[in-house]
Amino acid sequence: MADTPRVTFALTEEQEMLRQTTRQFLEDRVSPTVVRELMETETGFDAALWQSGAELGWHSLAIPEEYGGAGYTFAELSVVLEEMGRALFPGPFLSTVVMAANAIVLGGRDSQKKELLPGIAMGESMMTMALFEGPQGATTDDIRMTAAQDGEAWILDGVKKNVLFGHVAGTIVTAARTPNGLSLFLVPADTGGLNAEHVPTLDATRKQANLTFSGVRLGPEALLGNEGTAGPVIDRVLRLASVALSLEQVGGAQWCLETSVEHGQTRFQFGRAIGSFQAIKHRLADMLVSVEHAKSTAYHAARIVDDTDELLVAAPLAKSVCSEAYLRAASDTIQILGGTGFTWEHDTHLYLKRAKSTSLMFGGVRHQRRLLAEALGL
Amino acid sequence: MTDTIAAEKAEALVTGKIDELLSGYDPSMDPQEFWGRQYDLGLAWVQYPEGFGGLGVSPKYQSIVQRRIEAAGAPTWNRQINLLGIGMGAGVISAHGTAEQMRKWLRPMFTTEDMWCQLFSEPGAGSDLANLSAKAVRDGDEWIVNGQKVWTTLAHIAKWGMLPVRTDPDVPKHKGITYFIVDMEADGVDVRPLYQITGEAEFNEVFFDDVRIPDEYRLDDVGAGWRVSMTTLMNERVAIGSRSLPRGSGSIKDAIRAWREYEHDDPALRDELTRLWAEWEALRLTVERANQMRKAGIPGPEGSTGKLAWADLNKAITAFSVELMGWDGTLYPGGYELHRPTEFEDSGSPQRNFLRARANSIEGGTSEIMRNILGERVLGLPGEPRVDKDLPWKEVPRG
């Protein structure tokens, strides 16, 4: 095996400032009360909040300058994603900024990039990707929907399940089999024959819809890039989305750790703070270890996304390690908080639901380890 | 600006000394002679003062020294040979010793002419080290030591030992300890091998019977021994937890070798192997991150988790390697011939490594104690109530 790429873990001054302003903004504007209000709506986002995020530059960070972006890297975006995970940020950020934007950057024609990316960078567009059709969807092999050719036009028929914010997005980037392989199509939400049905989610802060395509007719301009070339684009987007979720998971797991520690310091039973009992203290020490390990894998992955070989290792590594760390941190937090942790009123269940649902997205922990084993030749 | 100039000057000073060291290097040279020259040029520990193996510059320049010496193919394994001296003893002597003591002990330690050992644990003082009962009584300019130490690595070849003993039983346990350096060749020191579950005796029992130690071998003040011991233990735990390794090396390498050698294809075993690989890589990245942050002067909690994580994971991986071997895993190549190694043996057969790893969560601070430390010092949780804290040591129940 080639030498493992070494990354610099410390944040640059600029990244540190971004972290501070992002956290401050999220604390001011995305309190648990706000999260809960949006959670109870069907659309799950707030237009003013979405726009403010864009004004802070979050949406444009990793979009190239020539297409209206700020031209930074995934490392900067990763700082925002971690903070969003900590705050349970609600809205189609992952589906728009991480998934659709990268699909367009990687697969789009120059004219499509010019047309679509500035809108994302400025916070005018909400997008998503409609990829999978069944509960185990995780790789391009799982994409079965076909697009039939009718002269210059393409006709899409089928159902796409579990589309993140699929009922909210203005443009859906969907995948279908075409004569020369796998292709991506840009489908405006108001296209005839497209129906989006919101479905309730385990994690109500991240909405989903099932999309039905009934003879959806698209012009040739709807094809993203060239026909039959979408496979590698989708592969890469899935890996970037996995890394993005790992960072969210790290932010959420750190919240769980801090919440449990504070409870251990302030909750008294048997005349002592319960954190003085080794039964609690040792559980928290183990949580600290697993959260620190999760951070290392997520930070590493965020810094090597441009190294395509290493990403094959780093993305499933981060996704599997961070998923397990977050789930364990959230479950243990409920245990340490006792009855309180099981109440609707306490925020921990929101983190547990995030933990479980993000661990399943784009392939669960065992799927990630299969990818990792493949990359390692095991 | 002045900082930049100072940094440039320091780097020029260090590289100049390295050039001087390497220009005089000849592959046929006795390694001890090379290490002596390295010490005299101030390249042993660059952060120490001149005359004590250092140049009085930032410790970050030491990595340049190591890299250049390695690149030149010159010897660098003195730290491995004399781990307890160079890895722990040097830090303690420089933090708590006098100039005279540094002059006496550091150079022969660095050259490995004098090997070192650490005489901490006792039959009645393991995790509760401060409960130690080996004692020293003052007699003019000397101290007379009696008692027993145990789990002493390499005591049978060491010239010097780091020895905390009780000098005042009438005060609470932490306050009555004094720290000495003992000559292991002195009359009354009896070193006996302690065979462990692998059949090796890396460790020893050491008995002290009216051993005389001159007062100038005392490190720091009378009664300050607990503080000095803590410096030693922190150095030890950082040393264990911050070893940086290439990806896929260490015990996971044995597991992957066994996976391939036995041509396994079972998905459940593959998942378990991959899980262990991922955990090991997460640990490796954490050590790398911690080392970077420590060097950058912004150490965080990631720097304290290594010892605990490594111990538990190494145990799991070495056990899994043997599992992959099937019936072969039930054999013990070479048998259990009791023997006494003369240096650290890092690896052997997977079966031997499996057995040896059982000690990882005991040596250098048990995993239970490490969890207490993480909980209390890193996370800020309250300590356990302690019944012995304010009692005079001699009134504390023990057994």
Between CA A305 and CA B152 the distance in angstroms is: 48
Predicted confidence at residue B60, as pLDDT, reads: 81
User: Any idea which residue has 């601070």 for tokens?
Assistant: B365
Q: Are B178 and B165 in contact (CB under 8 A)?
A: yes
Predicted confidence at residue A335, as pLDDT, reads: 98
Mean of the pLDDT values across residues A325-339?
Answer: 97
- Reported confidence tier of residue A4, pLDDT bands at 50, 70, 90: confident
- Enumerate the β-bridge partners of residue B64: none
A2 pLDDT above the threshold of 60: no
**Helix/strand/coil (H, E, C) string of chain A?**
CCCCCCCCCCCCHHHHHHHHHHHHHHHHHCCHHHHHHHHCCCCCCCHHHHHHHHHCCCCCCCCCHHHCCCCCCHHHHHHHHHHHHHHCCCCCHHHHHHHHHHHHHHHCCHHHHHHHHHHHHCCCCCEEEECCCCCCCCCHHHCCCEEEEECCEEEEEEEEEEEECCCCCCEEEEEEEECCEEEEEEEECCCCCEEEEEECCCCCCCCEEEEEEEEEEECHHHEECCCCCHHHHHHHHHHHHHHHHHHHHHHHHHHHHHHHHHHHHHCEECCEEHHHCHHHHHHHHHHHHHHHHHHHHHHHHHHCCCCHHHHHHHHHHHHHHHHHHHHHHHHHHHHHHHHHHHCCCCCHHHHHHHHHHHHHCCCCHHHHHHHHHHHHCC
Share the mean pLDDT of chain B.
92
Least confident piece of the model among B58-72, B250-264, B317-331: B58-72
Structure tokens given for B72: 């030149």
Distance from chain centroid for Cα B314: 17
Predicted confidence at residue A1, as pLDDT, reads: 45
**AA letter at A351:** Y
- Chain B residues closer than 8 Å to A3 by CB: 246
B296 pLDDT above the threshold of 80: no
Nearest to B371 among A261, A281, A296 (CB): A281
In chain B, % of residues over pLDDT 70:
96
Structure tokens given for A4: 């493992």
Least confident piece of the model among B4-18, B185-199, B216-230, B342-356: B342-356
Nearest to A321 among B273, B278, B372 (CB): B278
The answer to whether A361 faces chain B, any CB pair under 8 Å, is: no
Which of the following is catalytic: B122, B202, B205, B236?
B236
Between CA B172 and CA A75 the distance in angstroms is: 52
> For residue B199, with 0-12 CB atoms within 10 Å meaning exposed, 13-18 middle and 19 or more buried, which class applies?
middle
Mean of the pLDDT values across residues A121-150?
Answer: 96
B125 pLDDT above the threshold of 80: yes
In chain A, % of residues over pLDDT 90:
98
- Reported confidence tier of residue B388, pLDDT bands at 50, 70, 90: confident
Instruction: Write out pLDDT tens, residues B99-120.
Output: 999 999 999 999 999 999 999 9
Chain A, nearest residue to B382 by Cα = A276
Predicted confidence at residue B241, as pLDDT, reads: 67
Task: Find all residues with CB under 8 Å of B238, minimum gap 6, and list them.
Answer: B303
**AA letter at A38:** L
B1 pLDDT above the threshold of 60: no
Does residue B200 carry a catalytic annotation? Answer: no
| Domains in chain B: ranges and CATH | 2-76 (no CATH), 79-239+384-399 (2.40.110.10), 242-365 (1.20.140.10)
| Domains in chain A: ranges and CATH | 13-125 (1.10.540.10), 129-227 (2.40.110.10), 231-376 (1.20.140.10)
Least confident piece of the model among A155-164, B145-154, B210-219, B332-341: B332-341
Ranges of beta strands (E only) in B19-124 are 116-118
Between CA A209 and CA A199 the distance in angstroms is: 5
Q: Are A354 and A278 in contact (CB under 8 A)?
A: no
- Reported confidence tier of residue B346, pLDDT bands at 50, 70, 90: low
Instruction: Write out pLDDT tens, residues B265-286.
Output: 999 999 999 999 999 999 999 9
**AA letter at B286:** T
Nearest to B305 among A9, A275, A288 (CB): A288
CA angle B251, B255, B257 (to 5 degrees): 110
Instruction: Write out pLDDT tens, residues B35-87.
Output: 999 999 999 999 999 999 999 998 888 888 988 999 999 998 898 889 899 98
Instruction: Write out pLDDT tens, residues B359-375.
Output: 999 988 899 999 999 99
Least confident piece of the model among A3-7, A145-149, A253-257: A3-7
A3 pLDDT above the threshold of 70: no
Chain B, nearest residue to A10 by Cα = B293
Predicted confidence at residue B137, as pLDDT, reads: 98
The answer to whether B67 faces chain A, any CB pair under 8 Å, is: no
The answer to whether B372 faces chain A, any CB pair under 8 Å, is: yes
Share the mean pLDDT of chain A.
96
Contact at CB, B381 and A4, closer than 8 angstroms: no
Instruction: Write out pLDDT tens, residues B146-169.
Output: 999 999 988 999 999 999 999 999
Between CA B90 and CA B98 the distance in angstroms is: 12
User: A299: closest CA among A348, A366, A254, A349?
Assistant: A254
**AA letter at A79:** V
In chain B, % of residues over pLDDT 90:
72
* Contacts across the A-B interface (CB distance below 8 Å): 129
